[in-house]
Amino acid sequence: MSTEGVTLREEHPGDAASIRSLVDDAFAPDATVGPLVEAIRASPRYVASLSLVAQDAAGAVVGFTMLSHVDLVGPDGVRREILSLSPLAVAPSAQGRGIGGALVRDALARATQTRESLVVLEGSPAYYPRFGFELAAAHGITINLPHWAPPEAAMAYLLPAHRAEVVGTVEYPPAFDEVVEH
């Protein structure tokens, strides 16, 4: 796997159309993810410094991921903001070159520099543990998954600022509500 010739950087405002096209292609035929990215970007939960693209030598956007804020509601009802990694997309023609992994590692490295507690995601239990993601339930975190997802898809990555008392149920902001469950 080679990411040679690929540069990782923060998303720029002019990248929106390229990102939409990339996400639509990467998730086809699921047409809900592109609008989700746009809804998150337009929301107060968007974190510009944690929205990343992979750009090839020709200048094309070939990969994308973003970390945005979601709520973690504790058993006492206290809401805390945490980060969610969603989505991770790589152009079909560029898959298998390590671009997705490079984006995840870079996003987690940037998140480590913040005061954030953790990153959650709903993703492949065969893919994300290599980056340090663990079962969310093992850390007292509940993610209500879609009916088609295995329980192991609910994962968390503890950042250096994490404290053991940060537990609860993940609640997604309204932007996520716009996604149609399949």
Dihedral sign from CA coordinates of 12, 15, 20, 23: negative
In a domain? residue 117: yes
In a domain? residue 182: no
In a domain? residue 2: no
In a domain? residue 143: yes
CA–CA gap between residue 176 and residue 68 (Å, rounded): 11
Task: DSSP for 61-113, please give it.
Answer: EEEEEEEEEEEEE-TTS-EEEEEEEEEEEE-GGGTTSSHHHHHHHHHHHHHHT
Per-residue pLDDT tens digits for 30-69: 999 999 999 999 999 999 999 999 999 999 999 999 999 9
Tell me which residue range forms the domain holding 98: 7-177
Give the rounded percent of residues in the chain with a pLDDT score beyond 70: 96
Per-residue pLDDT tens digits for 119-173: 999 999 999 999 999 999 999 999 999 888 999 999 999 999 999 889 999 999 8
In a domain? residue 99: yes
How many domains does the chain fold into?
1
Please tell me the predicted confidence (pLDDT) of residue 182.
37
Tokens of 133: 């993601």
Predicted confidence band of residue 1 (pLDDT cuts 50, 70, 90)? very low
In a domain? residue 42: yes
Please tell me the predicted confidence (pLDDT) of residue 127.
96
In a domain? residue 1: no
Is pLDDT above 60 for 181?
Answer: no
The CATH number for 130's domain is: 3.40.630.30
Considering the entire predicted model, what is its pTM? 0.92
In a domain? residue 57: yes
